Structure 1
Amino acid sequence: MIGLWDTTGNEVVKALAAERRSAGGVASGLALTLVAVVEEKMVREAEAAATIAAAAHPCRLLIVVRSDLEGRSRLDAEIVVGGRLGPAEAVVMRMYGRLALHAESVVMPLLAPDVPVVTWWHGEPPEMIANDFLGVVADRRITDSKQAPDPVAALVQRAHDYAPGDTDLTWTRITLWRTLVAGAFDTTEEEVVGAKIVAPRTDPTAALMSGWLKSRLHIDPEWEHTDRAPRMQSVQLQCANGDCVTVTREEGTALFSRTGQEDRYMPLPKRPVGDELAEELRRLDADQVYADALGAMAGIPDLDQRHAMRVHVWKDPALAERAGAVEGAMAGPGGSPV
């Protein structure tokens, strides 16, 4: 491990090359570059998740920690090759001051050559990915709407801001649910005429499950809100012949019920973020099924027809705050101009 304090991007590039040579790292063996954007308080969580993902997908891991934007511009870096972060070539960069707004100036020279780039925001997702250059340069972009104050509203925003290559860990969290529901129809061709989801009002997985059922089955699922549990509790499907298929969450398992058949218990564990991240890294192309489900949930059709290339839209938060302060000073009581 090499620690560089108050350093420069050029020094980080040289130190990574030296550490790779001493550790015997081979850049051609990397499957991708994973750029993780996190806040200081979530760095350890991001490192733990990325370590799990890197075990399945050898990668160059670049963790960008954007800290105090008001202070002097400074870069602190920690370089680890084949150490505590698993088989990844990892660089943890803490950026302070205005440098945090231009993280790409340090990140771009560190991208592994000739491999895809995936950017993952471990925290509240950006309102517009185009405002973050680290998202614009990525082939795949992974957000987590669950981290937002209003997860369902954040998921709707993901639909408005969608471009092919985007995905959200909310989608990954319903993979096992979708597998169980779809598997119920492996031995029948009965048409589904209705569905009901029991989940809290603020659960984004329920919202996306509803969108998936709507896009696949062309029905409008009922959402029964409940406060008895923090997550989606059950999915029920009604068939045209009167049969009912229900998947109900229990402790680490799902109770699978179907009219005329004995109840069965199926595995439905709560997976760590690292496993969810590893699943998303298995595919580096656009996920059309996710786009259909997201669009159906938000009422926005043809998301997969949008252009995949993003154009960077610069947004300076310091200027936005300054403009807000000026507007507030010019307004009198009740918002009227002074």
Structure 2
Amino acid sequence: MTTLWDTTGSAVVKELAAQRRTGGAVLSGVALTLVVVADEGRVAEAEEAATAAAEQHPCRLLIVVRRQIEAPAPRLDAEVLIGGRLGPGEAVVMRMYGRLALHAESVVLPLLAADAPVVTWWHGTPPERLSTDALAVIADRRITDSSMAEDQLAALGARAEDYAPGDTDLAWTRTTPWRSTLTSTVDSVAGRRGDAVVVRGGQVEGDPGNATARLLAGWLTARCGCEVTVVEGDRRPGPSGVSSVVLRLDQDEEVHVTADRRGGAVIAQPYRPEATVALPDPQLGDLVGEELRRLDPDEPFAEALEAATGASDLAARSPEREHVWFDPAQADPDGAPDGADEDAREAVR
């Protein structure tokens, strides 16, 4: 590891190239560049999760920490690592001070792996409009986490309003174990019957203000063609915000999937004894690693987000974003850009 204090972007590029020359085969097979945006207080957990994801998907890891934007002078401190604490590949941790923090892309762009997709992940409250962050505009895929917002439902609404194909959210990724369990359970009922199963309705029991619970209900609504609501249940919801799911089927049957406290779920369905299956709560690194498995637009997420927020035609939007310059010091009280004129916009493709 090499630490560069009060350095420049050019010096970071040169140091990475110098270490690459001595890294040899360690650097082969880079599949993508993962850009992580985190506050100083969350850097440690972001590094841990990104390292776990990088072990699953070889990538160049760039961690951007915007510190003290109000500092009078711009400054860049950087750590350059190859095969160190951040995994077997290349990694650069950049702490930016002053106005440089508002132009992080000027340092990040020269560090992107050549001819490889770019994924940007915000570990913290996501921007209301991703186009105000150039690190979103240059990315092929963008990962936010609405569950980290103070008002998770408002954050989901902002994600729907600002959505472009290529966006996804870790609140959605947390629904994966539930979606897998529910799909296999309904398939089991269809196998017993020997014909198709029609879902007439249902409910997700848990925290009505939780983004994951809302997206799970949205996915069920979109897939089953009937309304599935979120209600507050009698049991305390687990980390995903969901305690159980009830689906009402045709032929007056019901399926219940109830989470327990041991990382599993109890499945109750007609004409069969109760069964227990694994329903793990994925770690943050596993969630990020799952999102790195696919770089195409996540259409099921778009459908779930539409159903959860009432938005429409999200998948039909353009995947390209236009960078809108945003200075936090000149934001209006609502936190939105202050109506800069068109000359302040930069088209980034």
Q: TM-score, normalised by structure 2?
A: 0.90
8 Å CA contact 2:79–2:94 kept in 1: the answer is yes
Q: Which residue of 1 aligns with 2:264?
A: 253
Q: Quick check: 1:229 aligned with 2:236?
A: yes
Q: Which residue of 2 aligns with 1:120?
A: 121
Runs of 4+ aligned residues of structure 1 deviating over 6 Å after TM superposition are 321-324
Output the CA distance in 2 between the equivalents of 1:28 and 1:130. 32
- CA offsets 1:120-156 (integer angstroms, 9 cap, x no match): 0000011000000000000000000011001121012
Output the CA distance in 1 between the equivalents of 2:313 and 2:223. 14
8 Å CA contact 2:235–2:243 kept in 1: the answer is no
Number of aligned residues: 324
Output the CA distance in 2 between the equivalents of 1:123 and 1:206. 19
Q: Which residue of 2 aligns with 1:272?
A: 283
RMSD, aligned CA = 1.6
- CA offsets 1:142-181 (integer angstroms, 9 cap, x no match): 0000110011210121111100000000111010100111
Output the CA distance in 2 between the equivalents of 1:121 and 1:101. 15
Unaligned runs of 5+ in 1: 325-338
Q: Which residue of 1 aligns with 2:197?
A: 190
Deviation at 1:226, TM superposition (A): 4.1
Q: Which residue of 1 aligns with 2:145?
A: 144
Q: Quick check: 1:313 aligned with 2:320?
A: no
Alignment of 1:1-338 (within 5 A): 1-24=1-24, 29-71=29-71, 72-187=73-188, 188=190, 189-226=196-233, 228-230=235-237, 231-251=241-261, 252-320=263-331
| Bigger shift: residues 260-269 or 94-103 | 260-269
Q: Note closer, same or farther for the CA distance 1:216–1:322 as it changes in structure 2 (3 Å cut).
A: closer
8 Å CA contact 1:215–1:293 kept in 2: the answer is yes
Q: Note closer, same or farther for the CA distance 1:322–1:15 as it changes in structure 2 (3 Å cut).
A: farther
8 Å CA contact 1:237–1:244 kept in 2: the answer is yes
Kindly provide the amino acid, as one letter, of the partner of residue 278 in structure 2.
P
- CA offsets 1:15-34 (integer angstroms, 9 cap, x no match): 01111112225655100000
- What secondary structure does 1:237 align onto? strand
Deviation at 1:240, TM superposition (A): 1.2
- CA offsets 1:43-91 (integer angstroms, 9 cap, x no match): 0000000110000100000000001011121000001111111112100
Deviation at 1:227, TM superposition (A): 7.6
8 Å CA contact 1:200–1:227 kept in 2: the answer is no
Deviation at 1:322, TM superposition (A): 9.8
